[in-house]
């Protein structure tokens, strides 16, 4: 299958982004055409939200925000 490394990179990014809110039960694994990973939520007392608010972008052609 082409581009398997992109799928694994995406799973690693998801795992890292959610590390403060979940734990990995099963590491990313390629099975045929599928990439699977199992995450479970951390207890509420151990969760840490680290998400930044979405950045607003300015459209360069008409100057409006999107």
pLDDT, tens digit only, all 66 positions of the chain: 578 889 999 999 999 989 889 999 999 999 988 999 999 999 988 888 766 666 776 666 666 655
Please tell me the predicted confidence (pLDDT) of residue 29: 93
Give Dmax over CA atoms of the chain in angstroms: 47
Task: Please list, in sequence order, all residues whose beta carbon lies within 8 angstroms of the beta carbon of residue 7, skipping any fewer than 6 positions away.
Answer: 30, 35
Report residue 8 CA to chain centroid gap.
11
Q: How many CB atoms are closer than 10 A to CB 1? A: 9
Please tell me the predicted confidence (pLDDT) of residue 11: 94
Please tell me the predicted confidence (pLDDT) of residue 15: 93
């Amino acid at each position: 299958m082409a581009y398997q490394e992109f799928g694994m990179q995406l799973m690693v990014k998801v795992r890292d982004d959610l590390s403060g809110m979940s734990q990995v039960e099963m590491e990313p694994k390629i099975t045929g055409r599928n990439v699977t990973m199992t995450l479970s939520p951390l207890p509420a007392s151990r969760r840490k939200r680290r998400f930044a608010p979405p950045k607003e972008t300015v459209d360069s052609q008409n100057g409006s925000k999107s």
